């Protein structure tokens, strides 16, 4: 018998965001690991799954209908969907945080004991601990329409909607972990550096090519979708049974280098601009 340290065989998994990039790579691996994979996204999955349901995270009614349509209890929830800041700010905060939170919280009563949740955040959200007063004000609004309206009114001080939404995911993940552990459910998130997926061109457009290229410095290239999908599989697996409330940087040492001063962002940007 194989030494199955991940334990996905026969597990009922739901993946939000399986159309492209990281989510597509993720569902391919989960299917190969023997999981029963139910996908959801605003666009259809290219992979043959146990089921696919169209869900628009901007729309609370679509979220409720999606959960109803998939039905039943689940073991693992993977939240991969996201929008870059080239989209309207209201849509970015709605998909990346408000929609993901509403969708996850609606799933909670149906997540089995021993289950797990993982969300793709971003290195863009790494500064969440320094922005708590504003984040808590935004996150206190549990009605997605009200929170969306808060963003419109507070756009100036809220800053970049992508950063805000990913900081909110990190904060929400850590706030949720102790209470969920009482039900033996784990919750974590990952903070990728730039990934070579369809979204990368939007980040280059928003931040400038040199800035984004500088982030490839740690390993000399961007991560692949698969290199971001596999840590999600690890965090929701039985191999991570004692890991909860973690915001895991998946960045080949980039944030470690920046935090310690071993890597100098300004120098990296200057080098990337000159290249």
Ligand X SMILES: NC(=O)c1ccc[n+]([C@@H]2O[C@H](COP(=O)([O-])OP(=O)(O)OC[C@H]3O[C@@H](n4cnc5c(N)ncnc54)[C@H](O)[C@@H]3O)[C@@H](O)[C@H]2O)c1
Using rule CB under 6 A, residue 56 touches ligand X: yes
| Smallest distance, ligand X to C-beta of residue 142, A | 19
Binding marks (x or -) toward ligand X, 149..188, rule CB under 6 A? ----------------------------------------
Among 6, 27, 47, 57, binds ligand X (CB under 6 A): 57
Which residues have CB under 8 Å from 158's CB, separation 6+? 134, 138, 151, 164
Using rule CB under 6 A, residue 22 touches ligand X: yes
Among 70, 74, 80, 189, binds ligand X (CB under 6 A): 80
Of 47 and 95, which CB lies nearer to ligand X in the complex structure? Answer: 95
Using rule CB under 6 A, residue 235 touches ligand X: no
Using rule CB under 6 A, residue 60 touches ligand X: no
Of 7-15, 55-63, 151-159, 234-242: span binding ligand X (CB under 6 A): 55-63
- Positions touching ligand X (CB under 6 A) are 17, 19-23, 41-43, 55-58, 80-83, 95, 120, 122, 192, 194-195, 197-200, 203, 225
């Amino acid at each position: 018998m194989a030494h199955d340290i991940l334990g996905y065989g026969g597990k009922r998994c739901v993946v939000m965001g399986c159309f492209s990039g990281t989510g597509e790579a993720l569902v391919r691996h989960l299917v190969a690991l023997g999981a029963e994979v139910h996908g959801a996204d605003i666009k259809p999955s290219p992979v043959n799954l146990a089921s696919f349901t169209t869900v628009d995270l901007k729309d609370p009614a679509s979220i409720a209908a999606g959960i109803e349509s998939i039905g039943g209890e689940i073991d693992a929830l993977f939240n991969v969907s996201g929008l870059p800041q080239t989209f309207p700010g209201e849509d970015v905060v709605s998909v990346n945080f408000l929609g993901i939170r509403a969708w996850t919280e609606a799933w909670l009563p149906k997540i089995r004991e021993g289950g797990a949740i993982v969300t793709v955040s971003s290195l863009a959200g790494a500064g969440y601990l320094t922005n708590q007063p504003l984040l808590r004000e935004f996150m206190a609004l549990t009605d997605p329409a009200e929170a969306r309206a808060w963003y419109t009114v507070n756009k100036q001080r809220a800053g970049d909607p992508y950063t805000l939404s990913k900081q909110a995911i990190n904060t929400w993940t850590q706030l949720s972990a102790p209470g969920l552990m009482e039900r033996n459910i784990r919750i974590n998130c990952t903070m990728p550096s730039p990934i070579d997926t369809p979204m990368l061109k939007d980040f280059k457009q928003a931040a400038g090519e040199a800035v984004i290229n500088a982030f490839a410095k740690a390993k000399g290239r961007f991560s692949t979708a698969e290199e971001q999908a596999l840590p999600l599989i690890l965090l929701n697996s039985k191999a991570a049974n004692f890991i909860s409330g973690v915001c895991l940087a998946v960045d080949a040492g980039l944030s470690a280098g920046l935090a310690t001063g071993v890597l100098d962002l300004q120098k990296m940007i200057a080098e990337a601009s000159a290249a």
